[in-house]
Chain A
């Protein structure tokens, strides 16, 4: 171990490489989690692509504390490039088709838990983590990505527009449709996966 440390100390390239490996290892769960939220399949490939690109430009990273966000951005860029190559990326949804849908109203009207005083909260609590992912995967990727980046990863809209290389207006419109689609798919999934059926008494 001492020998390795000595080699790093006299070898800037080795030091850089060791720092990259440490950052990459630490961020693997985060990157894989993000990749799984963005893509239907190929999350592992996307992480590999991200790491390959990251290593190439690791020298440009100024502060190590910026490393996690920097890696996330590289992953999103790789995802965006992949999206452009796929025919699915042009899967636009007409706003008129979904703009009228309100999950709040649908839950209130259908009243799936008639004895509940907290109907809407109970509805959300019927979903587990894998159910959320299943709902996201039902959405076209161009609408899913802004939704994930905004409300799950915490990026602001301007950052999302830059990362996805789309005009701000387009990003806002996709985010709007993405929210509506997510609501509609939540309801459809809840019905199909029988999440709304009364639970049996223990």
Chain B
């Protein structure tokens, strides 16, 4: 485990990658180490989590009846 600390700007810019677990183990540990003592960045982290859920909940697969009808006809005629 490295003892090197990172500033808030570095931690914040890596928060989503941290949540996605696409950082190297070393960078993952650095962000985690920063979050252990920085309250403001913990707020950023919580918001990043909220924003991810918000995006996922934005998936609405509605199709207008006339578009559905046209596309069904398209499938039949293919």
Find out whether the CB atom of B70 lies under 8 angstroms from the CB atom of A153: no
Closest to A56 in B: B78
A28 with B60, Cβ < 8 A, contacts A51-B78, A176-B16, A176-B17 known? no
Give, as a whole number of angstroms, the nearest-CB distance from B65 to chain A: 11
Is residue A151 contacting chain B, with contact meaning CB distance below 8 A?
Answer: yes
Find out whether the CB atom of B54 lies under 8 angstroms from the CB atom of A30: no
Find out whether the CB atom of A179 lies under 8 angstroms from the CB atom of B44: no
- A28 cross-chain contacts in B, Cβ below 8 A: 63, 68, 71-72
Assembled-state Cα–Cα distance A188/B32 (Å): 31
Find out whether the CB atom of A30 lies under 8 angstroms from the CB atom of B52: no
Which bucket holds chain A's interface residue count?
35 or more
Assembled-state Cα–Cα distance A156/B66 (Å): 34
Find out whether the CB atom of A152 lies under 8 angstroms from the CB atom of B55: yes
- B60 cross-chain contacts in A, Cβ below 8 A: 33, 129
- B36 cross-chain contacts in A, Cβ below 8 A: none
Find out whether the CB atom of B61 lies under 8 angstroms from the CB atom of A29: yes
Is residue A165 contacting chain B, with contact meaning CB distance below 8 A?
Answer: no
- Count of B interface residues, CB-CB < 8 Å: 32
Closest to B16 in A: A179
Give, as a whole number of angstroms, the nearest-CB distance from B54 to chain A: 5
- B50 cross-chain contacts in A, Cβ below 8 A: 120-121, 124
Residue from B16, B22, B71, B78 in contact with A55 in the complex, judged by beta carbons closer than 8 Å? B78
Assembled-state Cα–Cα distance A104/B13 (Å): 12
Is residue A89 contacting chain B, with contact meaning CB distance below 8 A?
Answer: no
Chain B window 17-34, contacts with chain A (Cβ cutoff 8 Å), 1 for yes, 0 for no = 100101000000000000
Residue from B13, B16, B20, B51 in contact with A124 in the complex, judged by beta carbons closer than 8 Å? B51
Further 12 A-B residue pairs, CB within 8 A, beyond A104-B43, A121-B50, A129-B58: A28-B68, A33-B60, A51-B75, A51-B78, A102-B12, A124-B51, A127-B54, A132-B55, A132-B58, A150-B20, A152-B55, A172-B17
- Sample (30) of A-B pairs whose CB atoms are under 8 Å apart: A21-B75, A24-B75, A25-B72, A28-B63, A28-B71, A29-B62, A32-B63, A32-B67, A32-B71, A33-B60, A34-B61, A44-B70, A47-B71, A52-B78, A99-B13, A103-B47, A105-B44, A108-B43, A120-B47, A121-B50, A124-B50, A127-B54, A129-B58, A132-B54, A132-B55, A151-B56, A152-B58, A157-B20, A176-B13, A176-B16
